[in-house]
Structure 1
Amino acid sequence: MGVNLKDLIPPEAKVVLDDLRVLRGKIVVVDGYNALYQFLAAIRGPDGSPLMDSSGRITSHLSGLFYRTINLVEEGIKPVYVFDGNPPELKIKELERRKALREEAAKKYEEAVKEGDLEAARRYAMMSSKLTSDMVEEAKRLLKVMGIPWVQAPAEGEAQAAFMVRRGDAYASASQDYDSLLFGSPRLVRNLTISGKRKLPRKDAYVEVKPEVIELSKLTEKLGITREQLIDIGILLGTDYNPEGFEGIGPKTALTLIRTYGSIEKIPKGYLRTREEVDVVKIKNYFLHPPVTAEYKLEWIEPDQKGIVEVLVKDHDFNEERVKNAVERLSKAYKEFLKGRQLGLDQWFKKSS
């Protein structure tokens, strides 16, 4: 879910990218779980069924990860993926809620298939997407043979991504969620892994989805608040650590309350109604001081065609010709980076630990 700050983002704090080459030479830390869930939801058949190999194992996430990452590298972007570790205790209730929603959606999917309602079947199938630990490990294995670095976060991947950007090891974090802004990422790229034409739910119409870059400093400046106050607004609206937020408080009201009283702790209790007790101080402290690691190395190496064929073709029945053609594209993009030298090899092979 994540916090929804969409209605609070002023135009001055956001740049819509018509061309991904604007990010050429930039290291972008992609929220791995977020991206894999997007691929699981989007890459499906007309009835909502995911791609599978001959053993019945889902491969939609691998297909999306493989081809979309190649597209990014061809645009000159240096992606690094970060994966969630152990979820904080604050998030347990939200994870249980998501599990229940997936299970309910799975039941509705079966009903829709029986009734022949393909539109509903696809919608419920997307909602029932489940990412297993085996699927994540396969994604990491694929990235390794592609020569793309990945980082294992101790806890929240978006917190780790924000840390890496603040540290200067990357230009921006990339996710559909806005949480990395609360974790202090100076820049957030949205729609990086889902740009292109997308069908509107329940409508026979498509919209063009373009990547956008949001700058934290411009966001807080235009709203006239600090990052800590942005966290307060997020808590009022609802985060993964208090999903329901506070009753009757929308984006505009939340901003007004924080501007008026300075912090969530100083808002009169009468304004803050919620079904469950919320420890706002504990949530705020988690956003300010999340568990992260500085033990990582960012290194891009030439793709291992044999290894990629092993993972995708031999293990998961991908079309060998298509895979090899894609690997050629990846190798060519890699060599053009080395040949260009306009950014310097030291930037391409940037390492941090």
Structure 2
Amino acid sequence: MGIKGLNALVSENAPKAIRSSEMKSFFGRKVAIDASMCLYQFLIAVRQQNGDLLTNENGDTTSHLMGFFYRTIRMVNNGIKPCYVFDGKPPVLKGGELEKRLKRREEAEEKAKEMKETGTIEELQKFERRTVRVTRQQNEEAKKLLKLMGIPYVEAPCEAEAQCAELASKGKVYAAASEDMDTLCYKPPYLLRNLTAAEARKLDVSEYSSQAVLDGLEMDLNTFVDMCILLGCDYCETIKGIGPITAMKLIKEHGSIEKIIEYIETDPKTKYKIPEDWPYKEARELFLHPEVLNGEDVELKWVEPDINGLIQYMVTENGFSEQRIRDGAEKLKKGLKGGTQGRLDGFFKVTSTTQGTKKRAAESVKIKGAKKAKSSAKKR
């Protein structure tokens, strides 16, 4: 679900924290991608012309395999080295949100049945997309495909976006990539949105600087996390009646959820009511101290694709075109080899020394230019 209204708040109050770029501008970058989010994206978006999921001869869904194969190749062709991170067990606090999702899915399934009898094709497809669920088998199939492609993946102990942020924070990758804005609560150096869908949907990649977000909102991480809990997250309900603007106003005035609760409970005119047994402290702990693998202990390796293995898995077992899989594997092989070339800004860091050198060089150019102009004037 992410954080309700957070993107709008950041866009309005910290616009300098967001930069839109073409995918190719991330050439030479390693990126940790929320694989669980990708699975949902691919199952929803990768469809036949009639709107049905792609399937093999046995009737097994293959939309996710096509999504992972071709969109990964697209990133690699742009010089990006992706690493995928899969969800582990969900936090206990997320149980309520998962129940809500299940209920919404069941309602969508009922609507889809109704639309088959009375609705249009567009209405039917809309509700069918809402019934998408990712199975354990589909997770394992995606991992098998990535291994054959030579693309590393990590199995997170808990939330995938938290693990992505950890890998970025420890310098194993440049950024965390996810559509969920709650990734910012784990403070990766950078969050990338639209990365896996960018070129397919002709979108730019949105890059968020976590520190610039905090600076623009004039908050530290603790205050920011408290504001996100007030906005609405996967772990607990919100205070009814408090929307994004009010949430930011209250957190800036009072500094923490505890102080806001104290203000609400002592103000006889308040219209807000604190939820019973509100587990905001537990939610805060999940954001500030998530269960993750230590990024320093995670080794990421990009290797040549197993072309024969890909042909067996994608063509023989799942019915994809052999020529297309071979062509894709060759692009992948070439891209991974070419992607080893680093970015210049990875080799050079701007320091006071290099800044001083640049300044002196600029001054030298000015002096030489002045001397040249003076000499020309004398000749005239």
**TM-score of the two chains, using structure 1 as the length reference:** 0.90
Equivalent position SS for 1:92: helix
Q: Match for residue 283 of structure 1? A: 283
- Paired position in structure 2 for 1:337: 339
Task: Check if 1:8 corresponds to 2:9.
Answer: yes
Q: Give the distance between the partners of 2:46 and 2:209, measured in 1 at CA.
A: 30
Cross-structure match for 1:316: 318
Corresponding residue SS for 2:339 = helix
In structure 2, do the counterparts of structure 1 residues 7 and 113 end up closer, same or farther at CA, with 3 Å as the change threshold? same
| Deviation for aligned residue 1:196 | 4.1
Shift of 1:14: 0.1
Q: What secondary structure is seen at the aligned counterpart in 2 of 1:2?
A: coil
Alignment of 1:1-353 (within 5 A): 1-4=1-4, 5-9=6-10, 10-17=14-21, 19-115=22-118, 117-196=120-199, 198=201, 208-242=202-236, 244-267=237-260, 268-270=263-265, 272-273=272-273, 277-294=277-294, 295-338=297-340, 340=341
SS at match of 2:72: helix
Contact 2:76–2:339 under 8 Å retained in 1: no
From the two aligned structures, give the one with the greater helix fraction: 2
Could you say if the C-alpha distance between residues 48 and 108 of structure 1 is closer, same or farther in structure 2, counting changes exceeding 3 Å?
Answer: farther
Indicate conservation of the 8 Å contact 1:43/1:60, yes or no. Answer: yes
Give yes or no for contact 1:49–1:125 (8 Å, CA) kept in 2.
Answer: no
Q: Distance in 2 between matches of 1:147 and 1:222?
A: 40
Distance 2:274 2:32 in 1: 35
Structure 2 portions without partners, runs of 5+: 348-380
> How far 1:116 sits from its partner (Å)?
5.2
CA drift at 1:101: 1.2
Q: How many Å apart are 1:145 and its aligned residue? A: 0.6
Counterpart Cα distance in 2 of 1:342 and 1:175: 23
Aligned partners of 2:29, 2:286: CA distance in 1, in Å? 28
Deviation at 1:55, TM superposition (A): 0.9
CA contact 2:311–2:322 (8 Å) conserved in 1: yes
Q: Distance in 2 between matches of 1:104 and 1:246?
A: 26
Q: How far has the Cα of 1:345 moved from its partner?
A: 12
CA distance in 1, matches of 2:180, 2:144: 25
SS in 2 for 1:209: coil
Change (3 A) 1:248 1:341: closer
Deviation at 1:287, TM superposition (A): 0.6
Query: Partners in 1 of 2:342 and 2:290 — Cα distance?
Result: 37
Query: 8 Å contact 1:86–1:156 — kept in the other structure?
Result: yes
Q: Which AA in structure 1 matches 2:247?
A: A
Partner Cα distance (1:46, 1:52) in 2:
13
Distance of 1:197 and 1:324 partners within structure 2 = 21
CA-CA distance at 1:54 after TM superposition:
1.1
- Does the 8 Å CA contact 1:48/1:125 hold for their aligned counterparts? no
Distance 1:262 1:325 in 2: 56
**Which deviates the most, 306-315 or 212-221?**
306-315
> Which sections of structure 1, spanning at least 5 residues, go unmatched?
199-207, 347-353
Equivalent pair of 2:77/2:332 in contact (CA under 8 Å): yes
Please state how far the C-alpha of 1:248 moved relative to its aligned partner: 1.4
Deviates more, 1:269-278 or 1:77-86: 269-278
Larger Rg: 2
Question: Is the alpha carbon distance of 1:197 and 1:154 closer, same or farther for their aligned partners in structure 2, counting shifts above 3 Å?
Answer: closer
Q: Note the C-alpha offset of 1:2.
A: 1.6
Offset at residue 344 of structure 1 (A): 12
**Alignment size in residue pairs:** 334
Query: For 1:342 and 1:256, how far apart are their aligned partners in 2?
Result: 41
Deviations 1:231-268 (CA, angstroms, capped at 9, x unpaired): 111110111101x4221112111111111001111102
**Deviation at 1:7?**
1.0
Residue type of the partner of 2:254?
Answer: Y
Residue type matched to 1:227 in 2?
L
Q: What code does the residue aligned with 2:40 have?
A: Y
CA distance in 1, matches of 2:276, 2:110: 29
Letter in 1 for 2:103: A
Q: Identity, % of aligned pairs? A: 40
